[in-house]
Amino acid sequence: MDAEYIAALDIGGTKMAAMVASRDGPLARISQPSIKSGTSRALPEQGLELIEAVCAKAGVPASAINTLGVASAGPFVREEGAIALCSPNLCGGLSSDSDLPNDWTSIPLEKVVRERYATVAIDNDCVSALVAERTFGAVIDEPDCAYVTWSTGIGFGLCVDGRLLRGKNGNAGHAGHILMSETDDALCGCGNRGDLEALASGRNVGIRANMPASELFERARNGDAQAREVAERAAQWFGRGLYNLVATLDTRVFVIGGSVWLHHGNWLAPLVMREIESRFPALTSGVRILPAALGRLVADVGALAMVVPKDWIPLWRQGKPWEKLAKG
């Protein structure tokens, strides 16, 4: 029997969101801060409770849900074949100088949610965002594309030859951590110096400029010469990063989201394109960058898109029912 309802979770380092949807579209969404204490099962159990709550809010019996899509912050590890989280933003046991109120070294995400749901799909949140954009957004039917978030961090969801890339533990797309400078000693949260995220992420650009990234990019747009220099340098690094992806994967289209791009993509885009187009024409000719069509809800809609029944897709494409959630 086909599903009447599906559910989705978006698990981040700061917040978690749950949604429930029917053929007509997402019915409700609830968000709350991610739990960071208790046993290592606490976070996925919070997710299960949040789905019960969002079902109650939507008037859907929780027992009607058998299918769950999960978009989650990475990286992942495999424990007895099941995906577990080993994100340093969630697991206090991964670093000796962590100030998190737990000693988790991994979080058994897939194990816990499979105890409750028969059908489960779990992907990195950037992979999930790419699923959303390929199903409902800017790159429908595009076989060679990537989703990129330029926000606090920088992450990628990758698609080559029409297939999403996952890799040995589902961590394909951590190209925010590729090494790009050997002299710039910018430090990344992962411990690298001179990787893309150290050089261009909102968090790291903000640290260098000694102000929030949002303020820095705002000042740069308004003509402040010093802020402009920092922002342009970040855009160059970001563009060089996208070029590196083109050289590696022969990508045709990048869909870009995240808070930096949502607010400043219009004036940053030419700076980024210049770094791509100026190199190796056989690889870069015709490469395009597009803004994410699904905006702030891209990972949430992606978590639904990962498990959406095929016959709902044309209806959702036409009605864009997630837009109600964005306003709610």
Nearer to a copy of itself (CB atom), residue 121 or residue 294: 121
Structure tokens at 225: 């010469």
Residue among 38 and 167 whose Cβ is closer to a copy of itself:
167
Q: Is 89 in the site for a copy of itself (CB under 8 A)?
A: no
Give the footprint of a copy of itself on residues 282-301 (CB under 8 A).
282-283
Among 54, 73, 148, 175, binds a copy of itself (CB under 8 A): 175
Distance CA 266, CA 305 (A): 27
CA distance 250 to 277: 14
Q: Quick one: which of 256, 260, 258, 259 has its CA closest to 290?
A: 256
Q: For strands 15-22 and 25-33, give the pairing.
A: antiparallel
Q: Does the footprint of a copy of itself cover residue 267 (CB under 8 A)? A: no
DSSP 178: -
Q: Which two tokens stand for residue 293?
A: 């069509």
Taking a C-beta distance cutoff of 8 angstroms, is the pair 220, 255 a contact? no
Task: Taking each helix axis as running N to C, give the angle between helix 225-249 and helix 259-277, from 0 to 180 degrees, rounded to the nearest 10.
Answer: 70
183 lies in the site for a copy of itself, by CB under 8 A: yes
Binding status of residue 280 toward a copy of itself by CB under 8 A: yes
Q: Which of 14, 226, 248, 266 binds a copy of itself (CB under 8 A)?
A: 248
**Considering the rule CB under 8 A, would residue 243 count as an interface residue with a copy of itself?**
yes
**Comparing C-alpha atoms, which of 86, 123, 75, 124 is closest to residue 108?**
86
Q: Quick one: 66 or 171, whose CB is closer to a copy of itself?
A: 171
Nearer CB in complex with a copy of itself: 32/105? 105
Q: Is 25 helix (H, G, I), strand (E, B) or coil?
A: strand
Residues in 28-87 that interact with a copy of itself by CB under 8 A: 74-77, 86
Task: Examine residue 230 and tell whether it contacts a copy of itself (CB under 8 A).
Answer: no
Query: Per this entry, what is the length of the chain?
Result: 328
Stretch that binds a copy of itself, among 42-50, 59-67, 176-184, 307-315 (CB under 8 A): 176-184
* Nearest alpha-carbon partner for 243 in 267, 291, 278, 290: 278
109, 83 in Cβ contact below 8 A? Answer: yes
170 binds a copy of itself (CB under 8 A): yes
Strand-pair category, 163-164 with 119-124: unpaired
Tokens of 296: 């702030």
200 in contact with a copy of itself (CB under 8 A): no
Nearest to a copy of itself of 27, 43 (CB atom): 43
| Position 192 contacts a copy of itself (CB under 8 A) | yes
Nearer to a copy of itself, 168 or 310 (CB): 168
Smallest distance, a copy of itself to C-beta of residue 158, A: 8
Interface contacts to a copy of itself, rule CB under 8 A: 74-77, 86, 143-144, 156, 158, 160-161, 163, 165-184, 190-192, 195, 240, 243-245, 247-252, 279-280, 282-283
